[in-house]
Amino acid sequence: MDFKQLSYFVRVAELGSFTRASIALDIAQPALSRQVRLLEVEVRQTLLVRNGRGITLTEAGKVLLEHSRGVLHQMDRLREELSLVQGSLAGRVAIGLPPTLSKILTVPITREFKRLMPEATLSISEGLSKTMLESLLSGRLDIALLYNASPSPDIDLLPLVEEELLLVQRLSDADSGKPVKLKDIGKHSLIIPSRPNAIRMHVETELINIGVQPKIAMEVDGVGAILDLVADGMGKAILSGNAVTTAAHPERYATRPIVEPGLRSKLFIAINSHRPATGTQQAMMQLLESVANEVLRKT
């Protein structure tokens, strides 16, 4: 089999479309289709079925996709090991960051990456924990920062930091800055992400554990939109401090510590437990730990 054909097939399968894959690979769609068809001839199996919305994998395609990821990953490791002979880290590493952290971590992470690994390639994407978890499992991401991740045989977790969660309200609201007891959170109308957002699940679990039912004013996915609604007086939110300080207009908001007990969100570095980390990926995890700790201590 041709490694290029395998990589083309994997990209089409992951993106679910020849059109999207041709754009991502910067190759003409007819040429991409021809390469995948040659691969099907080689393995004597139909791998993809076209439909009105893109493509679906056949059972043979699913088997080949799983093995192709492993083969391509091993090729990346081989290239990297060869580069180490020359004393440099190389290869590609793809990381995922939560939206609230992407704003404050992307620049320092990229700066350090270029300084420490100039021969390597970095890809950074932004997403919610559930989406990034799926990308780790599928191989689209090598490393992700996940909030409140649950133990899993498929994912290895490295605890990174804990962030205090705060009640966020308009600056003009009463009791601005005053601590609020966790049991009293149920008295406030909350604007909160929909399930299974990690912070949403964490807040609900902690409240239910003390017998308090949260009052959900509305479900909104997106920190920026949540804060806009808080500023408009539609309700209050529970967010980390850096979500407020990195907002477009942080002066619009007041934050109140949550006490007795406090609410803290745990941040983890996550990798796929079935894919041994390359040297570049291991160096990237060390970089993430160092940069995240330094930046988050300042916020």
Query: What are 53's two structure tokens?
Result: 């919305």
Percent of all residues in the chain with a pLDDT value above 70, rounded to a whole number: 95
Are 18 and 12 in contact by the 8 Å Cβ rule? The answer is yes
Q: What is the pLDDT of residues 229-258, one digit of tens each?
A: 999 999 999 999 888 988 889 999 999 999
Q: Long-range contacts for 37-40 (Cβ within 8 Å, ≥24 apart)?
A: 38/2, 38/5, 39/1, 39/2, 39/5, 39/6, 39/8, 39/9
DSSP string, 140-192: S-SEEEEESPPPBTTEEEEEEEEEEEEEEEETTSTTTT--EEGGGGGGSEEEE
Mean pLDDT of the chain: 89
The token pair at 153 is 């045989």
Question: Is residue 103 pLDDT above 70, yes or no?
Answer: yes
What pLDDT, in 10s, does the model give residues 167-214?
999 998 878 889 999 999 999 999 999 988 888 999 999 999 999 999
Answer yes or no: is pLDDT of 87 > 90: no
163-265 has the same fold as 90-160+267-298? yes
User: CATH number of the domain at 3-80, please?
Assistant: 1.10.10.10
Task: Give the per-residue pLDDT at 151.
Answer: 85
Task: Measure the CA dihedral 270/271/272/277, to 10°.
Answer: -170
Per CATH, the architecture of 163-265 is what?
3-Layer(aba) Sandwich (3.40)
Please determine, for residue 276, whether its predicted confidence score (pLDDT) is greater than 80.
no
The CATH class given to the 90-160+267-298 domain equals alpha beta
Q: Say which residue the tokens 């290869």 belong to.
A: 91
> Are the CB atoms for 229 and 235 separated by under 8 Å?
yes
The pTM for the full model equals: 0.70
DSSP structure class, residue 277: P
CA 38 to each of CA 33, 41, 52, 158: distance values in angstroms, whole numbers, following the listed order: 9, 5, 23, 42
Could you tell me the residue ranges of all domains in the chain? 3-80, 90-160+267-298, 163-265
